[in-house]
Chains A and B, each alone.
Chain A
Amino acid sequence: MNTADQEAAAIELRGLTVCFGEHCALEDVSLTVPHGAFVAIVGPNGAGKSTLIKTILGLVKPSRGEVRVFSKPPEKLDPSLIGYVPQFKTLDRSFPALAEELVASGLRRAWPVRISRSERRRVGEALARVGAEHLARRSVSRFSGGELQRVYLARAFVRNPKLVILDEPATGIDVMGEADMYRLLEGYQKSSGATLLMITHDWEAAYHHSTHVIVLNRRLIGFGEPQRALSEKCLRQAFGHVGHEHTLSLTFGRRGSV
């Protein structure tokens, strides 16, 4: 990345609209994510959260508007700048793979037939970073949710990405595993200065761990610091009913009356 890229925003969306036939998953979304931000994306099911990250990854093309990642359209961006952590519940457990192969695929952007000595060293470092070096030669099909999440994080970190995108990373892991995951993410962000973008259904995690929150329900409802974006007004507008009052009061220590 040159100096101009480093100065520019990590992600810029301008009037982003994504439609599948007559149904629009995202409508007129505009925002700028600064470098080094830890951004949580919240919204109800069908709000367009996954469509948003897929558009940023270049997997879905905008119907209208613009997406820029490090000042470039996603299709022209060097993919090694991005570390993507998909929902691990989609993992095909029938596929024969060792953890070190999965992590090495993050380096090569292809599946390794054999792992070279220099690759093995980098894979080992990435696994050690997430406390999973002991899993290197084990089959991923036998892993628990927490173990799998660590290996996927190592796979993302091994290429030293400037942007890490996570799709519901806390799904299927226990409370301790979740706390470990946020510690690892925050540690990576501090050491590398990378930008993190994470879909979550956990408002509390978004409130406590992120620097910015995107509240989405097809349209952009709120964006900014957690205290501002996770206001009752934004959440009610996004989720549409008062059934979350209890959660609101538990999360932010206030009454959910509006």
Chain B
Amino acid sequence: MFEIWHLPFMQRALLAGLLMALLAGYYGPFVVQRGLSFLGSGLAHGAFGGVALGLFLGVEPLWIAVPFTALVAIGITWAREKTSISGDTAVGIFFAFSMALGIVFLSLKREYTSEAFSYLFGSILAVNGADLWASAVVLGLTLLMLPFWGRWTYATFDRELAQADKVPVMLDDYLLAFMVSLVVVVAMKLVGLLLVAAFLVIPAAAARQWSRTFAGMVLGAVLAGVASVVIGLQLSMQLNIPSGAAIVLLQTLLFVLAALIFRRS
């Protein structure tokens, strides 16, 4: 039953998944509590434009998707703060624009691009050394930004209170959107862009059911993510189903159980 973990590609997938659980568990509570659940989905679709451009140019899609998605994240944050449109409308515009660009780039590429499908649905086999390095870099950046946790959380609780205390909330909005865009891109290979937003939202939403503090919610989201990755990858191999779908189905099950057990009286 556990022999599959001796396979090098499963070890890579597990490492990538655990890094992802850590990153998504850390950023997910900010996304959920700021009412930005749609942002993860929008950024994932935005990343598709970058992946398609990479495939079209014949370079590693990750290296194009990272700056492309970061630009989409900055564009969404700018539109939210500097125009009169709401956050979900801003996400909707950039998401559609990036998908349309991606479709154009893929249509310009003559030969069949099966790799594009691994980004859409996620694939254990597709995880390579570059993906692991990219995840490690995002983790390193996150560790560098750990001192910002307190002010990010403060502004998440009450933006106006944080502003009154001279917290640079606008700069932090851009930083947070930038970091979430990186998490989305590096998670895409494993989970697939169609489901990557769930990785940010569902473990955090599940952890909210039993957490009394925001720090507890972050820890809970990380643990829920780790459990769903390990069990999901195992099930994915045993049942021969896509890894991303297996992980997200488990996360949803965890959320439902948490919501039932810890429902408000």
By a beta-carbon cutoff of 8 Å, the part of chain A in contact with chain B is 57-59, 75, 79, 82, 84, 86, 90-92, 94-98, 101-102, 105, 108-114, 139
Contacts and interface: CB of A to CB of B under 8 A. Distances in A.
Interface of B: 33, 149-151, 153-154, 156-158, 160-161, 163-167, 208, 211-217
Given A96-B214, A111-B214, A86 B157 contact: no
Nearest to B216: A96
Nearest to A59: B163
Max chain A Cβ within 10 angstroms of own Cβ: one of B158, B163, B216:
B158
Given A110-B150, A111-B150, A111-B153, A91 B158 contact: yes
Contacts of B156: 95, 111
A59 B161 CA distance: 10
A84 B150 contact: no
Contacts of B211: 96
B260 to A, nearest CB: 18
B165 A79 contact: yes
B160 to A, nearest CB: 6
B18 to A, nearest CB: 22
A92 B215 CA distance: 17
A114 B216 CA distance: 11
Given A84-B164, A111-B150, 9 more contacts: A59-B164, A79-B164, A86-B158, A92-B157, A95-B214, A96-B216, A98-B213, A102-B157, A139-B212
Nearest to A57: B164
A111 B157 contact: yes
B33 A94 contact: yes
Closest 5 CB pairs of A and B: A110-B150, A111-B153, A109-B165, A111-B154, A79-B165
B160 A113 contact: no
B166 A58 contact: yes
Given A79-B165, A109-B154, A112-B150, A96 B160 contact: no
B204 to A, nearest CB: 11
B17 to A, nearest CB: 26
A9 to B, nearest CB: 21
